[in-house]
Structure 1
Amino acid sequence: MDIKSFEDLIEWARELHAHLSRCLSECSTKNKEERARALLTYLADHEAELERITAEFEKQADSRALKTRLYDYLNDEHKAIRTHRTCDDHYANLDFDSIVREVFSFHDQLIDLYDSLAGKAEIPEAKELAESLRAMEEHEAMRMARQIGMMDDV
């Protein structure tokens, strides 16, 4: 996806969450480990919720911020975000801890991208939008960590 504005960035992030949700869901019945299957189901649901939350940013964000151009300071950082892009059996073959590491790495990369964009924003509305996206990702990552921690205790 060619990302030229914050609006494009939000759409791209929403699509990443949707894609990850589908992949996790597809693998949730294929993993041999019971804890990993439960984790994949939880994470798939959580990523679907993040898709919905991210879409809300498009509806509620300041129109000036949404139209702010990014190509001058994105520097292809969005292409550097690593997640398993194809929905094959990748997550079905990982154990609980490996799944957790991969999903948190994905979220950390998004947080870093939003943080970088907030630091480079030229108008206050764009800075606020990038900071809000970062705060949402951080909050949701903490919520996932708590839930996964409880799963790990069981």
Structure 2
Amino acid sequence: MNIETFQDLIDWTHQLHAKLAECFRHCATQHEEARAKWLLEYLSNHEATLEKTVAGFEKQADPKALHTWVYDYLSHTPITPHQACSSPYAEMSFDDICREVFSLHDQVIELYRYLEGRADIPEARDLVRELLQLEEHEAMRLAQQTNRARDL
């Protein structure tokens, strides 16, 4: 997907979380380790909820922010998780799954931080800041839940 406006950025983020939710759900049915299976099911539900939350930003965001161009700000290719979910998570350990998921979320957070400092209008800056806060909060929540599961 080519990201040209902040609306495209929201669509891309929405699709990323949807793809992750679908992939985690698919891999959970194939994983043999109970703790990793639980993690994948949890991650699937978490990403599906995050997908809906991000999609809601399009409905509430200021139209000026949504239509602001971000094309010039993107100096790297957007994050692409496993293009086709060919069960990569079904073969990973609990810790490997955690590392992969946190890496993806960290990349999204870094992208939002990058864009926040470069937004031309206050409405766009506010929108990116809200998305950044959501992603940071959800990453912290994921870390707490995975640490609890690791302790069990």
The normalised TM-score by structure 2 is: 0.97
Counterpart position of 2:86: 88
Structure 1, unaligned stretches of length 5 or more?
A: none
Counterpart position of 2:149: 151
Structure 2, unaligned stretches of length 5 or more?
A: none
The Cα offsets for residues 8-58 of structure 1, whole Å up to 9 and x where unpaired, read as 110011001000100000000111111000000000000001100100110
Superposition misfits of 4+ residues, deviation over 2 angstroms: none
Q: Do the aligned partners of 1:83 and 1:102 also contact (CA within 8 Å) in 2?
A: no
Query: What pairs with 1:1-154 in structure 2 (closer than 5 Å)?
Result: 1-75=1-75, 77=76, 79-154=77-152
Number of residues paired by the alignment?
Answer: 152
Once residues 26 and 80 of structure 2 are traced to their aligned partners in structure 1, the CA distance between those partners, rounded to angstroms, is 19
Identity rate, percent: 51
Once residues 70 and 78 of structure 2 are traced to their aligned partners in structure 1, the CA distance between those partners, rounded to angstroms, is 16
Deviates more, 1:119-128 or 1:82-91: 82-91
Once residues 89 and 114 of structure 1 are traced to their aligned partners in structure 2, the CA distance between those partners, rounded to angstroms, is 28
Question: CA 1:8–1:80 in 2, change beyond 3 Å: closer, same or farther?
Answer: closer
Once residues 52 and 80 of structure 2 are traced to their aligned partners in structure 1, the CA distance between those partners, rounded to angstroms, is 21
Once residues 80 and 74 of structure 1 are traced to their aligned partners in structure 2, the CA distance between those partners, rounded to angstroms, is 8
Once residues 7 and 152 of structure 1 are traced to their aligned partners in structure 2, the CA distance between those partners, rounded to angstroms, is 37
Task: Please give the secondary structure, in 2, of the residue aligned with 1:120.
Answer: coil
Letter in 2 for 1:146: Q
Letter in 2 for 1:129: L
Q: Do the aligned partners of 1:21 and 1:47 also contact (CA within 8 Å) in 2?
A: yes
CA displacement at 1:86 relative to structure 2: 1.2
